[in-house]
Structure 1
């Protein structure tokens, strides 16, 4: 059995779909399509009228393409980003274009208008999302789906745990980030590979996925050696719980900010944080600094918070934090002396 090719609802050999026959040991086409639809609507918070797909040609994104075609026939379009960083990338983009053409799925190859410099991995990610958003806007597509899955989520949670991340970091990959949706977070990697195999597709292989210079690749190999100890879908349940806790704390912070944060007469803010637990204080301090356009992050924010809680002044970027009269006064720092 294969995932439907074209037209929707007809298998590759022209017969009617037999959705209860297994693709993998515990996955049928019917189940996979239903799980995709559920994941998509949960990510968007409502039914999705049309959907753009980010398709690189790897097994994850090809499975995304196949599932979306069956779940949303005639309502999808795909795009492939060629960063021009590898000589094989152009051929991989053309490969995806051919698959889409054979299934009557609109497709575009997107290329940056300038070479990437600096931290290439970070710059490529930022460029990829900018190109995809511009393309989706031009096509009238309200959402873009990427192929992040449960194994990606597990890797992300463990990497952030190893770095000492707080609650926000341990919330992992969000189901939605603006117009970007991740409908495959309930799928494991092996299931997406099986979907491609059932469709008779041989995905491309990005060599960077085997480059141990990247933290994620090292974590992936570590997990492969201890596969029985970790369950990717359980990691997604943990991420969901963390995201709900994060949302609850942010709701409390925003409600209390109306009472706790007030402007002074000199372009600064007064933060009345004493009654609150430390985590709410931290979030209120971050909110106050964001309002001043000078938000500290991570360790800098925690260090400043500890000093303020201890009754000490602290530096907050271009501002000073000064405990005064039961509050924390956040005010512009004086100009630095010229040498």
Structure 2
């Protein structure tokens, strides 16, 4: 994990820098500057180091970086120090963010949630955008992982290129770049990146899918990523339609929702039911975290004119109208 000195470290290829600048400004709407900085999440791996080198070359003086140390591996502190040293050589600010992953639940999901929270809190007030190094191969891997689980359009859709995250905008300017392209940027700079052992650990779904893609030439990452991007367009269209129908068909009265589902396709009814449940929960201070595992049985019950309960919300199909309200507390015996 040693970098050459600043004097003999080459700047990334000009064409790659200009390509990155175009990709980034397509999401930001203009060049980041000292007053509207671009924050980077940099782990020390080849993807995030490629992001760091390209962003620094494209927007000098407008980039800041942070590394998250989850405290899960003893090497993490050293890796964060490596990124800090590289940022010092490049002359850009760097911070190491620390936190504890909840012991309960899926470890990788918990680490991901913590990472985004720490990065969003850090970037707020310092930058207008927070960029991560998700790239084309990540999109292909996620597509296959979710397809294997039977995901719907939303699950199979490529990750959004830009979305709000707290008080900053999360952007992913490398979604059309391959892992190999980013590794070449880092190698050309004479830098040996961090290698996360979990990326090759068969205990993790992503590591197994990554190995499968490497072995199967009939599953090209660029084609899988293209399919995921097409589904992102479809997901955005469905979300737009569901939002329009919500405005026309939903009546929110205090902590209850009345919804007219007449004539709507099943997928739109499902999305509106999900939004109604979330709206009732929010009105009663129950928070946004709830699992949708019971949503399909609930939808079937409503379509049949019945009643169902999910996530402390009761839904009843009346005469052409679905009603959602807080479920009464369970009686103790």
Residue 12 (str. 1) matches residue 6 (str. 2): no
Structure 2 unaligned blocks of 5 or more: 283-287
| Inter-partner Cα distance in structure 2 for 1:147 and 1:80 | 13
Residue 163 (str. 1) matches residue 180 (str. 2): no
For residues 115 and 320 of structure 1, do their structure 2 counterparts lie closer, same or farther at Cα, with a shift above 3 Å needed? closer
Partner of residue 83, structure 1: 70
TM-score (norm 2): 0.87
Partner of residue 94, structure 1: 81
| Inter-partner Cα distance in structure 2 for 1:208 and 1:166 | 27
Q: Is the 8 A contact 1:35 1:186 kept in 2?
A: no
Q: Is the 8 A contact 2:280 2:325 kept in 1?
A: no
Residue 194 (str. 1) matches residue 184 (str. 2): yes
1:290-333 CA-to-partner distances (Å, cap 9, x unmatched) read: 21117764441122111211222222332222221122222333
Partner of residue 64, structure 1: 51
TM-score (norm 1): 0.85
Q: 2:22 aligns with which of 27, 30, 38?
A: 38
Deviation for aligned residue 1:133: 1.8
Partner of residue 319, structure 2: 325
Residue 220 (str. 1) matches residue 204 (str. 2): no
Deviation for aligned residue 1:175: 1.0
Residue 128 (str. 1) matches residue 128 (str. 2): no
Give 1 or 2 for the bigger CA radius of gyration.
Answer: 1
| Inter-partner Cα distance in structure 1 for 2:101 and 2:157 | 33
| Inter-partner Cα distance in structure 2 for 1:31 and 1:68 | 13
| Inter-partner Cα distance in structure 2 for 1:59 and 1:267 | 48
Q: 1:286 aligns with which of 244, 259, 274?
A: 274
For residues 332 and 100 of structure 1, do their structure 2 counterparts lie closer, same or farther at Cα, with a shift above 3 Å needed? closer
Partner of residue 175, structure 1: 161
RMSD, matched Cα: 2.4
SS of match in other structure, 1:84 = coil
| Inter-partner Cα distance in structure 1 for 2:137 and 2:48 | 14
Q: Is the 8 A contact 1:150 1:235 kept in 2?
A: no
Partner of residue 25, structure 1: none
Runs of 4+ that moved beyond 6 A: none
| Inter-partner Cα distance in structure 1 for 2:255 and 2:45 | 52
Partner of residue 245, structure 1: 234
Q: Is the 8 A contact 2:280 2:326 kept in 1?
A: no
Deviation for aligned residue 1:129: 1.6
| Inter-partner Cα distance in structure 2 for 1:241 and 1:162 | 18
Q: How does 1:224-239 map to 2 (within 5 A)?
A: 224-226=214-216, 228-239=217-228
Structure 1 unaligned blocks of 5 or more: 20-28
